Amino acid sequence: MTTSEKSVLIDDLHALEREALAKLATVPDERGLEEWRVEVLGRRGTLAELLRGLATLSPEARPAAGAAGNRVKGALEAAYAERQRGLRAQSRARELEAERIDVTLPGRGVHLGQLHPITQLRREVERVFIRLGFSVVDGPEVEYDRYNFTLLNMPPDHPARDIQDTFYVANVGAPSRAPATAAAAAAGAVSPGDGAAPAGTDPLPPSERGAGGHVPVGVDGGKAKMATPAGGEVLLRTQTSPMQIRVMECQKPPIRVLIPGRVYRNEATDAAHESQFSQVEGLCVDERTTMGDLRGCLTFMIRTLFGSEREVRFRCGYFPFVEPGAEFDMSCHVCGGQGCRTCKGTGWIEIGGCGMVHPIVLENVGLDPSRYSGWAFGFGFERMALIRYGVDDIRLFYGNDLRFLQQLR
């Protein structure tokens, strides 16, 4: 091979280098790059083909051409690697762009639960009376007419029944269970404060309710016993007052109990009425307890819940099971008693009913009215919550709209 042969090979190498580099610059993507690699640097590629020509060169011509071949190969490989890095960076950038997430979007919050406002209020009232030495007690929501009305000095034809129409349970026969079962079923009926049995829970298992015959239970210092089999009509209680009877039937004075729970009335629902709501009853029976004690306890409760400046007043009120009876009001917590929209200009807000346990009621449970006196009060939690939170529609409490409920912590 001649010198000219040698330079032809070197020229070809340079030409290949130029063309290959130019083509490399136009390779659009990694696939194109791979095609370029096979075509130029592959074992059967254009470079390998040229380099095979080295073998045909004379020994003198070979070193220079070999060196040129190595340099071109190195240069092409370096350019290839460089282009590969460039293309990878490009496609990575494209991927990142495609997968872009907006980290400024607000995250999904963790929602903390809270107690229903009526539950909160019930617990606050329970705490007040636990401090005053009261026990918290549950009673059945499905009740005998006798407990709900008759024994509370409202015999069948009493006109006061008319304003407490309710729902009646049909086809209930005489109690059919063994007393032992009743006692066991009722064991959950007494709840010390926020204890095991939630207030308002029917102490009877489902199998014992409804058409099978509801056996009423009483409460005796944590041990329940079966009340006198009562027979008669069965209804959803209209008030928590029947628990006055049940407690007094089973427990000897001194008695201090608080009975929160659900009650029912046949009521058309509107902003101020629901057919299901909750009340709390307080009962104290002792040898020398007076209306002054009643008033003191109610004042303590109202001041704890609504502020130490609140006053409580009694107005004559009629409830068949108390004598004297009163409605109790508190001085308006919005205007301090000046008169405003909340108290309708009167300075006072009606809270509930109260009075001295009627002698006939004491006699109905076998207590001697010449020896014992007692007082009782009752009010509705929903009404109190409306007043406390300045809400104007009772239905909001059971609409389960969290946007509303969460505001009342």
Determine, following the binding rule CB under 6 A, whether residue 322 of this chain makes contact with ligand PHE. Answer: yes
Q: Tokens for 204, please give them.
A: 């009877």
Q: For residue 123, what are the CA distances in angstroms to 10, 148, 193?
A: 98, 25, 8
CA-closest candidate to residue 377, choices 118, 125, 120: 125
Q: Does 148 bind ligand PHE (CB under 6 A)?
A: no
Segment 278-297, which members bind ligand PHE (CB under 6 A)? 281
Answer yes or no: are the C-beta atoms of 214 and 204 closer than 8 Å: yes
Which CB atom, from 164 or from 172, has the smaller least distance to ligand PHE?
Answer: 164
Q: Which H/E stretch holds residue 151?
A: none
Q: Judged by CB under 6 A, does residue 319 bind ligand PHE? A: yes
CB of 238 vs ligand PHE, minimal distance in Å:
7
Query: And the tokens for 241?
Result: 């007052």
Q: How many CA atoms lie within 13 A of 307 on its CB side?
A: 11
Terminal C-alpha separation, the chain: 100
Q: How far is the C-alpha of 262 from the C-alpha of 276, rounded, in Å?
A: 7
Least Å distance, CB 273 to ligand PHE, is 13
Rg of the chain's alpha carbons, rounded to an integer? 45
Count of residues near ligand PHE by CB under 6 A? 11
The site map against ligand PHE for 239-278 (x = CB under 6 A) is x-x-------------------------------------
Q: Applying CB under 6 A, does 224 fall inside the site for ligand PHE?
A: no
Bond before 253 cis per omega within 30 degrees: no
Minimum CB distance to ligand PHE smaller for 135 or for 241: 241
Q: Which of 216, 219, 211, 257 is nearest to 237 (CA)?
A: 216
Sole window of 103-111, 199-207, 265-273, 347-355 interacting with ligand PHE (rule: CB under 6 A): 347-355
DSSP state of 232: S
Residue 260, strand partner residues? 280
Interface mask toward ligand PHE for 23-52; x: CB under 6 A:
------------------------------
* Residue from 175, 188, 203, 353 in contact with ligand PHE (CB under 6 A): 353
The residue among 76 and 361 lying less far from ligand PHE, judged by its C-beta, is 361
Does the protein bind ligand PHE through residue 355 (CB under 6 A)? Answer: yes
Judge contact between 285 and 254, C-beta under 8 A. yes
Of 200, 203, 260, 378, the residue at the interface with ligand PHE (CB under 6 A) is 378
Q: In terms of CB distance, is 9 or 354 closer to ligand PHE?
A: 354
Tell me the residue number closest to ligand PHE, measured at CB: 378
Nearest distance in Å: CB 173, ligand PHE: 28
Q: Which residues contact 277 (CB under 8 A, 6 or more apart)?
A: 262, 263, 265, 380, 381, 382, 394
- The answer for residues whose C-beta is within 8 angstroms of residue 94's C-beta and 6 or more apart is none
Residue 229 burial class via C-beta count within 10 angstroms: exposed 0-12, middle 13-18, buried 19 and up: middle
Which range of residues in 26-34, 54-62, 181-189, 349-357 is near ligand PHE by CB under 6 A?
Answer: 349-357
Spatial neighbors of 221 by CB under 8 A, at least 6 apart, are 190, 251
Query: Which residue lies nearer to ligand PHE by CB, 69 or 355?
Result: 355
Stretch that binds ligand PHE, among 10-18, 30-38, 64-72, 352-360 (CB under 6 A): 352-360
Among 234, 354, 365, 405, binds ligand PHE (CB under 6 A): 354
For ligand PHE, which is the closer residue by CB, 168 or 318? 318
Contacting positions for ligand PHE (CB under 6 A):
239, 241, 281, 319, 322, 353-355, 376-378
